[in-house]
Amino acid sequence: MFDISIDEKYIVTQEGTSEGTQIKYKKDGYWYKLDSKGNEGLCEYLVSKLLTFSRLDENEFVLYEQGFINGKKGCRSKDFIKNEDEELITLYRLYHNETGHNLAEVLGKFDNVGKRIEYTVDFVKKSTGYDISDYFKKIFTLDRITLNDDRHVNNLALLGTNKGFKAAPVFDNGKSLLTANVSYNKNFSMEENVKRVIARPFSGSHQEMFDYFGEGFKLDKDNALKWLETEPASLERNVLIYQIKRYYE
């Protein structure tokens, strides 16, 4: 766990979302994020560590570390943009640059998940030549387990290079595991709270998006559970244990 003081001159973005404002810093090859309304840093750590027990390559996801930034809780990750010719391009930005419209608003006009996904996959393929389907398969396998309720089109991205396009590593999992979830009720059972989570961006159901693509990766659930038993008790840890047992036992 790190503990660092960072001057305000290193602030890169101060993002406003429906969940609040999250301050981000960039310094010495690291991105730093302060917690906003929940334990986002803890979630980033737990979700990224979980993926080390999967069959994904280490370059397919971003690892996060918990810590303190100017005395406040948060997390950090290494900058995954390695070369000057690489650029992170979110699906929101790609669509807006091409059409001048908001992809999320356009998707809302379709009446089912299949049409929304097919439209997005076709758009990305026509715009970049890249088939984003496998990336989506991995993302929605993860989100079904971790209950990410903030997988909007700015959290889905490609890496553009002078050689073409490829999927960005999986990043931004802070709004997972029921942390700061507006529907969470401490008086309800885990099962009831899990059922109340609303997914994004193609459907309100994580299961529905998972079913469309199928399983994106295998998980070593025995060793993942052994690791989680060594982590300090928290709602977020308990949700992850519950979800792994739900889907892999």
For 68, which DSSP code? E
Q: What is the pLDDT of residues 129-144, one digit of tens each?
A: 999 999 999 999 999 9
Mean local confidence (pLDDT), 55-79: 97
The domain boundary, picked from 20, 54, 78, lies at 78
Query: How many domains is the chain partitioned into structurally?
Result: 2
CATH number, position 55? 3.30.200
**Beta sheet of 30-34, edge-to-edge order:** 2-4, 65-69, 72-78, 30-34, 20-27, 11-17
Q: What is the pLDDT of residues 192-214, one digit of tens each?
A: 999 999 999 999 999 999 999 99
Q: What is the pLDDT of residues 73-87, one digit of tens each?
A: 999 999 999 888 899
Mean local confidence (pLDDT), 114-132: 98
Q: What number of helices (H) and strands (E) belong to the chain? A: 9, 9
At 144, give phi and psi (nearest 5°). -65, -40
Task: Report yes or no: 36 and 19 within 8 Å, Cβ to Cβ.
Answer: yes
At residue 162, the pLDDT reads 87
User: What's the whole-model pTM score?
Assistant: 0.95
Give the structural domain span for 10.
Answer: 2-78
The domain boundary, picked from 78, 110, 141, lies at 78
- Using 50, 70 and 90 to split pLDDT, how confident is the model at 21? low
